[in-house]
Amino acid sequence: MITLAVDNQEITVKEGTTLLKASEKLGIEIPTLCYHEGLLPYGACRLCVVEIFKEKENRMVAACSFPVEEGMKVVTSSDRVLKRRRMIVEFLLSRCPDVKTIKDLADRMGIKKPRFKSKNLDCILCGLCVRVCNEIAGIGAIGFVSRGKKLKVDTPFHMASDVCIGCGACSSVCPTDAIEMELDAVKRFLELLGSEHKCRYALMGLISYKVCSNNYECWKCKIDQRIRDALGTHPIFAAKKIKKEKVNQYFSFLKKIQE
């Protein structure tokens, strides 16, 4: 176990706990954008920056990926920290001026107009979509392409993916709504499947077998909506925590009450 102090409050947590988790346990909120508790930390946005002090060392680190250390002192909202976060949000606001999540963050920080040139994009390059597709769906249908200013998320060679299973996990984790499940993608997906219209949750391996009765227009599916409401997250994450049998039982129950 490791003992440290966050904003002058002492806490003892397991070795390997991140500063973000330790702060959460104390009820201290640190803003995040590229963090998702079901995915490996990535440290891309740096919004969760905090200041750490240990012996003679003092530096800024990303709380979502930095592990606790014995005797460490963490400050989550010093002037230096707030200034850095403000700069990050200002930069993101110039990149994505119409994205609600970023506008809300900017409002909370009192940022009216960023000093940087506006780009009118909707992706903040947080990598959540790429990570969920790789780490959780195990598909790898999308990834980062190009470099520098041209860096973006795309399918290989910007071509329609022939491996995407249409699980929608990428769209559900995107903090900016930059990814939408398009009807075209759903149609392509249908063509790939031929006459076998298995529910996408069956394709994700969450249930043994279920036929889709909505032509893969999941937004019309009451079962899909109820599962999201009941599990409080995209089912692909819930499946990691809940035993597969439990999910199957849940689906059978929903099927019964729909009949």
Min dist. Cβ of residue 25 to ligand FES (A) = 17
Interface pick for ligand FES out of 45, 50, 124, 207 (rule CB under 6 A)? 45
The residue among 33 and 106 lying less far from ligand FES, judged by its C-beta, is 33
Q: 131 vs 200, which CB is nearer to ligand FES?
A: 131
The residue type at 182: E
Q: Please choose which of ligand FES, ligand SF4, none residue 74 contacts, taking the beta carbon within 5 to 8 angstroms, the exact cut-off set by kind.
A: none
Per CB under 6 A, 124 contacts ligand SF4: yes
Q: Is residue 81 a contact residue for ligand FES (CB under 6 A)?
A: no
Question: For ligand SF4, how many residues bind (rule: CB under 6 A)?
Answer: 27
- Answer with the entry of ligand FES, ligand SF4, none that 129 interacts with (C-beta below 5 to 8 A by kind): ligand SF4
| Nearer residue to ligand FES within complex by CB, 83 or 255 | 83
CA-nearest of 220, 216, 197, 204 to 167 is: 204
Q: What residues contact 3, with CB distance under 8 A and at least 6 apart?
A: 10, 11, 12, 70, 71
E-strand ranges in the chain read: 2-6, 9-13, 49-54, 57-62, 73-75, 143-145, 152-154
Q: Report residue 109: phi and psi, to 5°.
A: -95, 0
The answer to whether 14 touches 1, Cβ cutoff 8 Å, is yes
Query: Token pair of 85, please?
Result: 């976060």
Distance CA 184, CA 186 (A): 5
* Residue 76 in contact with ligand FES, rule: CB under 6 A: no
The token pair that represents 135 in the structure block: 């780490």
- Residue 132, interface with ligand SF4 (CB under 6 A)? yes
Query: For ligand FES, which stretch binds (CB under 6 A), given 3-11, 26-34, 153-161, 226-234?
Result: 26-34
User: Is there a contact between 161 and 216 (Cβ–Cβ < 8 Å)?
Assistant: no
Q: Which residues contact residue 183 at a Cβ distance below 8 angstroms, ignoring those fewer than 6 apart? A: 217
Q: Which of residues 43, 97, 140, 205 is near ligand FES by CB under 6 A?
A: 43
CA distance 155 to 158: 5
Residue 195 CA from chain centroid, whole number: 33
> Site mask, ligand FES, residues 54-73, x = CB under 6 A?
--------x-x---------
Give the residue with the Cβ less far from ligand FES, 105 or 227. Answer: 105
Residue 174 contacts ligand FES per CB under 6 A: no
The answer to whether residue 48 forms part of the interface with ligand FES (CB under 6 A) is yes
Assign residue 213 a region: left if phi > 0, alpha if psi is -120 to 50, beta otherwise? alpha
32 binds ligand FES (CB under 6 A): yes
- Residue 35 found at the interface with ligand FES (CB under 6 A): yes
Contacting residues toward ligand SF4, per CB under 6 A: 123-129, 132-133, 137, 139, 141-142, 153, 164-170, 173-176, 178-179
Contacting residues toward ligand FES, per CB under 6 A: 32-35, 43-48, 62, 64
